[in-house]
Every structure is written in C-alpha cells, then in structure tokens.
Amino acid sequence: MKNILIVGAGKGIGLETAKLLASENKLITISRTLTDQLNALNTNFYQIDVAKDSLDLLTELPEIIHGIVYCPGSINLKPFNRLSAQDFLTDFNQNVLGAIAIIQKVLPNLKKANGASIVLFSTVAVKLGMPFHASIATSKSAIEGLAKSLAAEFASSKIRVNVIAPSITDTPLAEFLLNTDEKKETLSKRHPLQRIGTANEIAQLVSFLLNDHSSWITGQIIGADGGMGSLKI
C-alpha cells in the first residue's frame, strides 16, 4: 500500500483520482472544501487553500510518501486587454507556487520512498496557443518547465516527475463551457476523436503515472486531449 498525496481532491479530476486510488492506497487529500464524496472515502483530509494557507497545517504526514498529484484548476478566459496583473498572479500562485510549496514540503518524504512519482497538470493550450488563454497558459507553461527541471534534478533520488496536459474535460470546473448540448457538440467537434474527455479517463492516466508500470517514464508532457494537440483533421 502506497501513501499518495492528492491536492485539489474535492472535485473533478482530483476527486476521480481519489476514488480510483482509495481502495489500494493510503490517501492524504487536500482541498478548500470537504465534499460529501471525498468524505466518504475516509482519507486523511486537510482543508487548505495551497495558494494562501500555511503548509504548517499539514501535520502527522507519513514518513514516506510515494506520490503527489497536484491538480487544482482554473479556467480564467478573457481577452488579453481585460486581464489584470492580479489575474496572472492568481493563476500563477495556484498553479505554480502552490505546487512548488507542496513539493518542497514533502520532498524529504518522497526521497525515502526509493521510487516516488509526482504528477502535475498543464493544458493543451500551452502547446497549441488558443485565444483568451493568456493567463492560464502562462502559468501552465511554467509548470511544464518546472516539471522538466525537477525531473532532471530528482532523477538521482528515484523521483519521477511528469505532466498531464488535457484538453477540456467534463468536470465542474468546465461546467460553464459545457452547460448546453450545443456547446458540448461544438467543443466535441474540435477534437479529432469527436468528443469531450472525462475526469475518470484522466484519473486512469494519473494512476498509471503513479504506479510501478511507469517506472521508466519521467520528464514527459503527456497530452490527454482527444488528439487535439497533435492531429489535424
């Protein structure tokens, strides 16, 4: 049984990952709110906003942590001239500085695992370039650079670092983009596979990157995007 820390476990991809891993792992979960579904999993839960709160609140962590999943999300879509400096700072704090703080906090625990895995999240918009994504794409680009740097630095400690870069998935975060059949159909047709992804599909990829079957994979940006990032049809 492995000790896995999931940040952003209250809903969406984080919650689906927790559901998938709960039966065979000991989970430490972090979210701004404790949802009923997460509460039902009986994880070691901490109500923390990683972009604002002190991580000194993380007490009684296991001595060994085998994996981190960092998946707080934001979709702040605005024309560039309407984005404020605070918009950029908010996305950067949540997506980048929060991840840095968590990794620094538990790095000694990861090193004791003799084979640990860190899974971070980017977006297909970093690779493609999409209008109105300037703020989120900026912070997620930083995540990709951070992951590659850490993968190189941590390799000697047998800590792997990989990034999943999804396209839009059917989660509460994206509800405002998918709240009508017409919107879903339009967005589905933008993908070569002609559909929107699901949180469970992304969670399955997270599970693979955490387990020993992926033990020779590190420093990768893995597109889970229905072909959008690589194919033109």
CATH code at position 117 = 3.40.50.720
Q: What are the structure tokens assigned to 27, written together?
A: 């989970």
Domain containing residue 150? 2-224
**Ranges of H-type helices in the chain:** 12-21, 36-39, 85-92, 98-111, 124-128, 134-154, 181-189, 199-210
pLDDT digits 0-9 by tens, 4-31: 999 999 999 999 999 999 999 999 999 9
Q: Which residues contact 206 (CB under 8 A, 6 or more apart)?
A: 13, 17, 20, 69, 71, 119, 164
Amino acid present at 112:
K
Which residues lie closer than 8 Å to 231 by C-beta, 6 or more apart?
Answer: 192
> Can you tell me the mean pLDDT for 127-147?
96
Dist CA 192 CA 1 (whole Å): 38
Q: How many domains does the chain have?
A: 1
Taking residues 65-92, report their average pLDDT. Answer: 94
User: Domain for residue 232, yes or no?
Assistant: no
Sorting pLDDT into bands at 50, 70 and 90, what band is 76? confident
Whole-number Å distance between alpha carbons of 102 and 97: 9
Contacts of residue 183, defined as CB under 8 A and 6 or more positions apart, other chains included, come to 177
pLDDT (average), residues 127-149: 96
In a domain, 126, yes or no: yes
Question: 15 lies in a domain?
Answer: yes
Looking at the domain assignment, is residue 134 inside a domain? yes
230 belongs to a structural domain:
no
